[in-house]
């Protein structure tokens, strides 16, 4: 139990159903849907549609989606709702144009959004309601407006330069980002949501909405066509989830092109470490960071669309390979030269929203939806009110690389829902958002919970750090003495400008008949149940 003399949150308890999202209004929306007879999946999609309106920097119908779904007595179901590059996205064209990297604020970073098609397919297979019903709350929020919350306002201010660069004036009322408490309305988006509610996903991928998105992109030099968008309607597909056993549980992830594989690899490397007495000990932080550096190295080399590139899953998940990576970690010193990707022998030299829902029947939904970076590309299809993602920035422009951009290809993806099961039943849908941070974030959370015995809220609250871009990005909550010790070990320390992600989780305690929820204080949201 937390120290009640100190600031903080307690876990949330309920008996029938629970939702945890990054905005209070979205959490309440999910509960309203379940109280009206909907299941956890209906509630999750209604909530994420609301988040696309009131947390617009993180998600929206212009983005992508992945989901893990578990019903009692049935297998874990996974869907890949990530979008594809245009059919004209040939490496020859990019080379001829002298493009060596994808500008994350330009049209080539925009893949055809996969979320709406994924929502429709999920509801058709596993929901009890249709888009016509679950989109109604989001329509109201877009039409009537909603106050901007503190984290949203902070992110909006940081992204204002991107929006200004792309002429996205509708999101800069009076020339600047809205302040906390300002009511922001999106009438064009409300109309698009009404079209989708009436016509289904076809109302997004074909007709006037799609034409506006395509025209917006082509005016900026994009290669997209209305045929690309029409094909995007059916691009989402169910996939076989991947999993590993860890600490007496099974941890489930979506397979590549998502980064869930990196979570399972990280857990495999960490398997041989015993917990330290202090969860923020230098020893614990150092070894987790070093394991992450090795795993992200492999991600950048191998992770790609498995339908168009070979991803060496068996090699990367081989226990012998992970054990060899484990042995590379020097407890006293940061690696100065990582081995080449896929090798375990040192050579001589060298924004997103996540939510989860559990309903009265025990169905568990782990759901993630994203524009990638804050406000995605920053490109707004103004007539449709659709902010377009920049997932295409996950591609590389390097002929022969597994993740090289190509026609109708999905990029390496960062968003990853997680699911914990035991003896074949759901124990906890969970996720930690935050772009590239997510594999690090999920494993940090799971380690806090299952190794260090924290409650679900404490496991989300604990300060975080992340090795990225040659630096070790540290949150201010890490003790100063520990930061100094990490620096002496060879880590290049930088204090992170923004908190590392956010997270939600719901623990299903069948023995006591309760649900236990946690919601990350780094976001504006909450867990609620009844």
- Structural domain range at position 218: 25-237+353-394
For residue 180, count CB atoms less than 10 angstroms from its CB and return exposed for 0-12, middle for 13-18, buried for 19 or more: middle
Between CA 393 and CA 399, with CA 397 as vertex, the angle to 5 degrees is: 150
Whole-Å CA distances, 120 to 83, 125, 133, 285: 15, 9, 12, 41
pLDDT above 90 (res 341): no
Per-residue pLDDT tens digits for 10-34: 999 999 999 999 999 999 999 999 9
For residue 22, count CB atoms less than 10 angstroms from its CB and return exposed for 0-12, middle for 13-18, buried for 19 or more: buried
Do 457 and 518 form a contact (C-beta atoms < 8 A)? yes
6 inside domain: no
Q: Compare 498 and 93 and report the one with higher pLDDT.
A: 93
Laid out side by side, the sheet with 425-433 consists of 12-14, 514-519, 502-509, 425-433, 418-422, 249-253, 242-246
- Residue 104 sits in the same domain as residue 56: yes
DSSP run (H or E) holding 324: helix 319-328
The Cβ-side half-sphere exposure at 479, using a 13 Å CA radius, reads 9
- Residue 257 sits in the same domain as residue 268: yes
- Residue 175 sits in the same domain as residue 260: no
3-state DSSP: the chain helix, strand, coil percent, rounded to 5? 40, 20, 45
Whole-Å CA distances, 59 to 138, 181, 411, 443: 13, 20, 18, 23
pLDDT above 50 (res 264): yes
**pLDDT computed for residue 119 by the predictor:** 98
**pLDDT computed for residue 260 by the predictor:** 96
Calpha distance 321→31 (Å, rounded): 44
- Residue 375 sits in the same domain as residue 513: no
**pLDDT computed for residue 351 by the predictor:** 67
**pLDDT computed for residue 344 by the predictor:** 55
pLDDT above 90 covers a percentage of the chain that reads: 93
- Residue 61 sits in the same domain as residue 71: yes
pLDDT above 90 (res 328): yes
What is the Cα gyration radius of the chain?
22
490 inside domain: yes
- Residue 164 sits in the same domain as residue 313: no
**pLDDT computed for residue 272 by the predictor:** 84
pLDDT above 60 (res 347): no
Do 404 and 395 form a contact (C-beta atoms < 8 A)? yes
Question: What token pair was written down for 495?
Answer: 């204090």
230 inside domain: yes
**pLDDT computed for residue 5 by the predictor:** 85
Count the domains in the chain: 2
Whole-Å CA distances, 17 to 260, 356, 419, 485: 27, 11, 17, 45
20 inside domain: no
User: Is 307 a known active-site residue?
Assistant: no
- Residue 164 sits in the same domain as residue 271: no
- Residue 130 sits in the same domain as residue 194: yes
CATH of the domain at 323: 3.60.20.40
Strands 18-21, 352-358: pairing kind: antiparallel
**pLDDT computed for residue 350 by the predictor:** 28
- Residue 344 sits in the same domain as residue 420: yes
Mean pLDDT of 501-509: 96
Backbone angles phi, psi at 161, to 5 degrees: -65, -40
- Angle formed by the axes of helices 282-302 and 260-270, to 10°? 140
pLDDT above 90 (res 182): yes
Q: How confident is the model at residue 348 (pLDDT cuts 50, 70, 90)?
A: very low
**pLDDT computed for residue 343 by the predictor:** 61
- Return the residue matching tokens 């990029």: 411
**pLDDT computed for residue 349 by the predictor:** 28
Helix (H, G, I), strand (E, B) or coil at 265: helix
Name the DSSP letter for residue 68: E
Calpha distance 371→75 (Å, rounded): 29
Which of the residue ranges 64-68, 85-89, 92-96, 268-272 would you say has the lowest mean pLDDT?
Answer: 268-272
168 CB neighbour count, 10 Å cutoff: 19
403 inside domain: no
Between CA 253 and CA 527, with CA 478 as vertex, the angle to 5 degrees is: 50
pLDDT above 90 (res 352): no
Residue 297 CA, distance from chain mean position: 19
Choosing from 352, 414, 421, 443, which is the catalytic residue?
Answer: 352
- Residue 442 sits in the same domain as residue 324: yes
For residue 389, count CB atoms less than 10 angstroms from its CB and return exposed for 0-12, middle for 13-18, buried for 19 or more: buried
- Residue 243 sits in the same domain as residue 231: no
**pLDDT computed for residue 333 by the predictor:** 96
Mean pLDDT of 501-515: 96
Q: How confident is the model at residue 346 (pLDDT cuts 50, 70, 90)?
A: very low
Q: How confident is the model at residue 1 (pLDDT cuts 50, 70, 90)?
A: confident
- Residue 333 sits in the same domain as residue 438: yes
482 inside domain: yes
Whole-Å CA distances, 41 to 33, 71, 239, 303, 359: 10, 11, 17, 28, 9
Calpha distance 209→206 (Å, rounded): 7
65 inside domain: yes
411 inside domain: no
Mean pLDDT of 452-465: 97
């Amino acid at each position: 139990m937390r120290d009640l003399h100190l600031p903080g949150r307690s876990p949330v308890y309920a008996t029938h159903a629970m939702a945890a999202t990054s905005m209070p209004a979205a959490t309440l929306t999910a509960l309203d849907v379940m109280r009206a007879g909907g299941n956890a999946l209906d509630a999750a999609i209604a909530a994420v549609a609301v988040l696309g309106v009131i947390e617009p920097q993180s998600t929206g119908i212009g983005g992508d989606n992945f989901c893990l779904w578990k019903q009692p007595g049935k297998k874990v179901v996974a869907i890949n709702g990530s979008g594809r590059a245009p059919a004209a996205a040939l490496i020859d064209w990019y080379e001829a144009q002298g493009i060596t990297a994808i500008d994350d604020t330009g049209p080539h970073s925009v893949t055809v959004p996969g979320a709406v098609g994924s929502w429709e397919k999920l509801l058709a297979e596993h929901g009890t309601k249709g888009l016509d019903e679950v989109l109604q709350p989001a329509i109201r929020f877009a039409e009537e407006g909603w106050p901007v919350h503190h984290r949203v306002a902070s992110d909006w201010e940081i992204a204002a330069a991107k929006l200004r660069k792309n002429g996205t004036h509708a999101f800069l009322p009076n020339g600047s980002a809205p302040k906390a408490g300002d009511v922001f309305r999106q009438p064009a988006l409300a109309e698009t949501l009404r079209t989708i509610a009436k016509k289904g996903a076809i109302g997004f991928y074909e007709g006037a909405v799609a034409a506006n998105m395509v025209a917006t992109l082509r005016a900026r030099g994009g290669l997209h066509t209305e045929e690309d968008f029409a094909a995007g309607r059916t691009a989402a597909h169910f996939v076989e989830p991947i999993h590993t056993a860890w600490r007496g549980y099974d941890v489930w992830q979506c397979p590549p092109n998502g980064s869930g594989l990196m979570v399972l690899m990280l857990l495999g490397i960490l398997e041989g470490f015993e917990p330290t007495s202090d969860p923020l000990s230098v020893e614990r932080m150092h070894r987790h960071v070093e394991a992450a550096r090795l795993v992200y190295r492999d991600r950048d080399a191998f992770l790609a669309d498995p339908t168009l590139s070979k991803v060496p899953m068996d090699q990367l998940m081989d226990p012998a390979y992970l054990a060899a990576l484990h042995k590379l970690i020097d407890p006293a010193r940061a690696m100065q030269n990582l081995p080449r990707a896929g090798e375990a022998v040192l050579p001589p030299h060298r924004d997103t929203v996540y939510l989860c829902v559990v309903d009265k029947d025990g169905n568990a939904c782990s759901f993630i939806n994203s524009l990638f970076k804050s406000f995605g590309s920053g490109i707004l299809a103004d007539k449709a009110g659709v902010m377009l993602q920049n997932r295409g920035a996950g591609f590389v422009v390097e002929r022969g690389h597994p993740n090289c951009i190509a026609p109708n290809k999905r990029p390496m993806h960062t968003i990853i829902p997680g699911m914990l099961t035991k003896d074949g039943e759901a124990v906890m849908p969970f996720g930690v958002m935050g772009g590239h941070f997510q594999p690090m974030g999920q494993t940090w959370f799971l380690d806090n919970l299952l190794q260090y015995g924290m409650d679900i809220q404490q496991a989300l609250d604990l300060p975080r750090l992340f090795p990225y871009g040659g630096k070790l990005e540290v949150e201010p909550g890490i003790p100063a003495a520990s930061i100094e010790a990490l620096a002496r070990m060879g880590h290049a320390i930088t204090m992170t400008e923004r908190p590392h992600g956010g997270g939600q989780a719901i623990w299903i305690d069948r023995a006591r008949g309760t649900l236990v929820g946690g919601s990350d204080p780094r976001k504006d949201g909450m867990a609620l149940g009844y």
